[in-house]
């Protein structure tokens, strides 16, 4: 997967997870994420947090220049 695609997917995960978290605090849900709260509200909250954190991690890993970091370590 290219860096651009990984970055876009990471940003989408971050934005959708953040929006879903804020909306769930006021009692509204995105229609395509209603399945998250079926087992329990705590699990839904954790999944939303994991979406946010996963998106951040994907963007950071995609944007890191590993060759430059490797040269700096030498």
CB 14 within 8 A of CB 59: yes
Tell me what pLDDT residue 33 has.
85
CB 47 within 8 A of CB 16: no
Higher-confidence residue: 55 or 37? 55
Tell me what pLDDT residue 70 has.
66
Residue of 72, 68, 59 lying closest to 3 (CA atoms): 59
Question: What is the reported pTM?
Answer: 0.81
Residue 26 CB: number of other CB atoms within 10 A?
6
pLDDT class for 6, splitting at 50, 70, 90?
very high
Tell me what pLDDT residue 66 has.
74
The answer, yes or no, to whether residue 15 has pLDDT greater than 70, is: yes
The two structure tokens encoding residue 66:
């590993």
Which domain does 30 fall in, by range? 3-73
Number of structural domains (the chain) is 1
Tell me what pLDDT residue 47 has.
92
């Amino acid at each position: 997967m290219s860096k651009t695609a990984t970055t876009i997917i990471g940003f989408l995960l971050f934005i959708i997870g953040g929006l879903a978290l804020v909306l769930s605090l006021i009692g509204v849900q995105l229609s395509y994420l209603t399945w998250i709260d079926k087992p329990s509200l705590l699990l839904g909250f954790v999944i939303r947090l994991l979406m946010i954190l996963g998106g951040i991690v994907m963007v950071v890993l995609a944007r890191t220049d590993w060759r430059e970091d490797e040269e700096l370590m030498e």
